[in-house]
Amino acid sequence: MAFTFSGRLPGILKTKPLFHSLSSFASKYHFSAQQKVVVCGAGNAAHVFTALAASNPNNDVHLISLFQDEAARFKAAYDATEDKAITVQFTQEKRELKASPSSISNDASKLAGADTVILSLPAFAHNEYLQAVKDHVTPKPDKKTLVACFPGASGLECEWQSIFGVNEPGFVLLSCITLPWAARALQFGQTAEVLGTKHQIEVCIKSAEGSNKNSEYIDRISDLIGIPPKIVDYGHILNMSLSAINAIVHPSIMFGKWRSWDGKAMQEKPLFYQGIDEASANLMSQLSDEALHITRCIEKETGLTLKTQHIAEWYFSCYGADCTDSSSLKGLIMTNPGYNGLVHPMKGENGQWVPNFQYRYLSEDIPMGLAVMRGLSLILKEVPKVPLMDDIIQWSQQLLGKQYLEYKSDGSIVAGKDVGLSRAPQRYGITSIQELV
């Protein structure tokens, strides 16, 4: 049953509603106080977050981007739509949603009064927006301001602690291991497509009150984006740094595909996920094993119980029901419909394509991913050996022209000259894992 709402720019769902019925929506929201939601970013996922949040008339939704003229370009495209709305197409469900935010701007003061802030941004941009939240948001006496990062990426706990302190009472950090969907913008500022929705996503929450109210903050996000996905509390915030899916998946696929590249241009862009072979799947599995090894070492030293999954387990829990072959890691990736048609990041034209090593699969997932995992291992009393992770980091640093971690000839590993561009704990002067517990 499709439905519309009168009032401030309603969300219109075609074919299949986000909620089971108008009555269930009304009972959930009609009598609750309106909340202000600010979505930070203007990328693929930000289109979806904004439309989903704004489809609930109980939300006062604002989109801000502080990057150059991005907000102005987004607003110009949005204003050019006939119905002044952002459209989201849900491909697998064969439904469409249209909804409109209250404002689109580069004005950080729009953060004032926010109940929930969603950061849908590359990890390197988190610092600027977290600082803006600290500067412009005064938490309400009876309601903490929730800052939710999708995805949080590794090292977010270090970044947060450097800005908000160890136990800031008025703010709560929610870090998600990944995005809720595979999504892409079809027309910037106008239309986005959700290729597939994950059945389950994991989040970690950092709050001065401990885990007592974690379910409340999870419900707040579920109310914004709907179910599925099911949102699961994943425990201590360190789980996010050690379970960063992008950091395991993207660099391992890039390394497997291009480490022996002969430098010759390609006539077609190769498939990224669905182009992997058995060797690349094994590399991904081995890299995940090493991340788990670091996790076990942290547990041993801190007494924490962490929940890092092997990458194959994660794929099965998120996508297994949608894949025609869930018998192996390679099968789960190759038959995931959400990955259909997605290609390697390439540059060039006219059948002369070469890999773009500056794309976020290395430029973000190394300094905000693997370098953080390795950095965490380096502040342990007993430093574990992770040879594949070291190989991928060194290979990537050479391609990026960066040195987040310096690998010395005597076998030691220390902070590199570019550690300040990463979120490794060494950037923040953290020298013991106990400082993050």
The catalytic residue among 126, 236, 250, 344 is 250
Can 250 be counted among the known catalytic residues?
yes
Structure tokens at 299: 């547990």
The residues carrying an active-site annotation are 250
